[in-house]
Structure 1
Amino acid sequence: MSTEALSRISWTPRFGGRLVEDDGIDAQDRVNAQCIEVYHYIVRHGAIVPSGFDRVAVELGWTGPEVVSTIMQLVELRLLRTDGAVGGRLVPVDPQYAATLLVSPIERAIYQQRELADQLRERIDSIAGARDSAVVPGGSIDRLEGVAELRGLLKQAADVCRDELVVLRPSHDDDEVLDRLLEACHGVLDRGVSVRIISPHRSRAGFASRAKSRRLIDGGAAIRTISQVPQASVVFDRSLAVVFGTSADGLLPTGHRVRDENVVRYLIEMFDQLWEGAAPLAADEAGYADEVADDLQRSIALLMAQGLTDEAVARRLGMSVRTCRRHIAALLRSLGSVSRFQAGVQVATRFATGSPLGT
């Protein structure tokens, strides 16, 4: 293998161009399969040096140029890096970390371009308003789609957030995607920004969700829980809000960036009202406190009284059907009810009179 070929390993990535020169899906699939095979090979061996490329080619049954080309792809994707050792040894990089290194600059560029477009639009609106006093810009609501665009927006907004961040974090069909998006906001804790989060009661029960909450509380966030949380949203410094949703086909996360001061004020007021009635969550708390369990059972019973199925109740409260049915069984036992409807009526009556459940 030539020295010239080996020297290409340390070239600068050419993002914005094409990683694969061949046309067609088949060519892309072939390159992806080669990258997978070489990456797994290097993970198994821990590292690879340029002098060992020929051995890799022999073991995989490839040509030398195919090995070099595939390793170049892996370096460009940040899945391989040099570790500074003599001989230019390449070591594998964790895929999650590689994705962050690769995608973050692109996300930042997307958001900066959108910010520039907003500034130009606001400047034009202000000029139009100065000419005609009847034209008064009232803020904007813009749609964003996809993880990259949303995460770029949240990261940039968090970078300039100075005073307060509030989060409505309901249960979601894809908790992992929503959590990955919200992670872009958590860096404000390092700057001492006030962070308040409202989550559903069910976040107290799962081990993974408790661990996430504990990390946030240890970092300085305040978390409270209620039975049902409205649409997921984040408000930065009471001036910019992001409201989350999903695309029409349900495949992509979407969001609306809200700068309209009336809408943002409404979101803050709704958050403050929910916050006042929510139950504080402590870092060392496990499971449901008495008042939380009571509130959760009351919500379940009232939904049952509306004739909703177990599946619909579970969906409203953001919990699994199995967990919901376990709560329903406990509720029926505590109330001595023989039917779902009877339990709902009993709870509604006791709620109206201020009587606790189970008495």
Structure 2
Amino acid sequence: MHQTVHPHDLDELCAPGAELYARALQEGRIRTAVAEAAPCLVDGALLQPDVRDTDWLLPTPPSVALPRLLRGIEDGIAAQRRRESRLTEQFAPLLQLHSSQQADQDTAAITVLEGIPRVRSALAHAVRACAEEALSLQPGSEVPAEIARSRPYEQDILSRGGTIRTLYEHSHRHLPLVLDHFASLTGDVQVRTLDEVSEQLLVFDRAVAFLPANSARTVALEIRHPALIDYLVLSFERLWRLATPMHPVIAPLPATDGVTDRQRAIAALLVEGETDDRIAERLGLNVRTCRTHIAHLATILGSSNRAQLGYLIGRSGILDGPA
């Protein structure tokens, strides 16, 4: 019989083949014409021609057929393993090259800038490359020297047609230094304020951002990873929508029932259990001013001691007022 194409591998038994093979084992032989219904038995050597009579086929004993079929499977597995080894060897240098490139990309995405000169140099480069927008988030600890130093950089961006948006804390709203600074700039610059600003952030053209990496601000992170930039910008935009305009038009801070926005912020921190010194530090106030606001809250709510004041703040609903 000539070898044919089978719908299954020769190391498998189809239903007709299994039935005919079992019949051949039971009867000792099977006619060649009958075996044509399952040609896989002959091609798989489960049936052998009877040399004494070509009209008949003899079954190969299962104890002989099974090890031979298993050996064929093992040989196939060994061949696949050799193929795996060859592919692994071929791809090893390619994987190493890709890993090296990926590491370089990840390193470039976040750069640690150590030392004030290097930080200022990187910032100056980002400002020169900025063509559209600069976002700035400035906490209450910003010193006058930093405000003065930023003027030429900000004006440079504005002169090229870029926009600047800055977020300060409310404590900056009436500082002559801050008001004079923004009044001296020419171009599309907007400033808003919040109760509290967590940490400094600078973003240029939504392509590069800078964050301080230590409390002294002598080390900074230069971030160029798109996903991180998107996250930082999204955080800025959420704060921006909650903030109160300060420049170019000063909007009054909202007040409810004689309690100002600043006093609500102080009330929230009192409920958290913060001390006067800590509240003043977080909100960019001096301790005396902070205590004046606390005294005003105590008068409005009729409190005679600190513990009672926290309780009355919680019951008064003033923390539910506009922020």
TM range (shorter): 0.5 to 0.7
What letter is aligned with 2:172? S
Please say if residues 261 and 322 of structure 2, whose CA atoms lie closer than 8 Å, have aligned partners that are also in contact.
no
Q: Does 1:290 align with 2:290?
A: no
Q: Does 1:279 align with 2:248?
A: no
1: CA distance between counterparts of 2:145 and 2:319?
42
- Cα 1:355–1:234 change in 2 (3 A) is closer
1: CA distance between counterparts of 2:131 and 2:261?
34
Gaps of 5+ in 2: 1-92
Q: Equivalent residue of 2:279, what SS? A: helix
Which position in structure 1 is the counterpart of 2:273? 307
2: CA distance between counterparts of 1:308 and 1:266?
30
Partner of residue 151 from structure 1, selected from 120, 128, 132: 120
Question: How far is the alpha carbon of 1:135 from its aligned partner?
Answer: 6.2
2: CA distance between counterparts of 1:329 and 1:312?
16
Larger radius of gyration: 2
Question: How far is the alpha carbon of 1:312 from its aligned partner?
Answer: 0.4
2: CA distance between counterparts of 1:219 and 1:353?
37
Q: Does 1:228 align with 2:196?
A: yes
- Cα 1:157–1:353 change in 2 (3 A) is closer
Q: Deviations over 1:82-139 (max 9, x none)?
A: xxxxxxxxxxxxxxxxxxxxxxxxxxxxxxxxxxxxxxxxxxxxx9889438964345
Two-structure CA RMSD over aligned residues (Å): 3.2
Which position in structure 2 is the counterpart of 1:238? 206
Q: Equivalent residue of 1:221, what SS? A: strand
1:88-127 correspondence runs (5 A): none
Q: Equivalent residue of 1:324, what SS? A: helix
Which position in structure 2 is the counterpart of 1:117? none
What letter is aligned with 1:263? L
Aligned identity (percent) is: 30
Please say if residues 163 and 187 of structure 2, whose CA atoms lie closer than 8 Å, have aligned partners that are also in contact.
no
What letter is aligned with 2:254? D
2: CA distance between counterparts of 1:257 and 1:166?
15
2: CA distance between counterparts of 1:222 and 1:128?
50
Gaps of 5+ in 1: 1-126
Q: Does 1:194 align with 2:128?
A: no
Question: How far is the alpha carbon of 1:352 from its aligned partner?
Answer: 7.9
Question: How far is the alpha carbon of 1:189 from its aligned partner?
Answer: 1.2
2: CA distance between counterparts of 1:282 and 1:261?
30
2: CA distance between counterparts of 1:237 and 1:277?
22
Q: Does 1:170 align with 2:139?
A: yes
Which position in structure 2 is the counterpart of 1:204? 173
Q: Equivalent residue of 2:260, what SS? A: helix
1: CA distance between counterparts of 2:292 and 2:320?
25
1: CA distance between counterparts of 2:144 and 2:95?
44
Which position in structure 2 is the counterpart of 1:259? 224
Please say if residues 298 and 347 of structure 1, whose CA atoms lie closer than 8 Å, have aligned partners that are also in contact.
no
2: CA distance between counterparts of 1:208 and 1:233?
21
- Cα 1:317–1:355 change in 2 (3 A) is closer
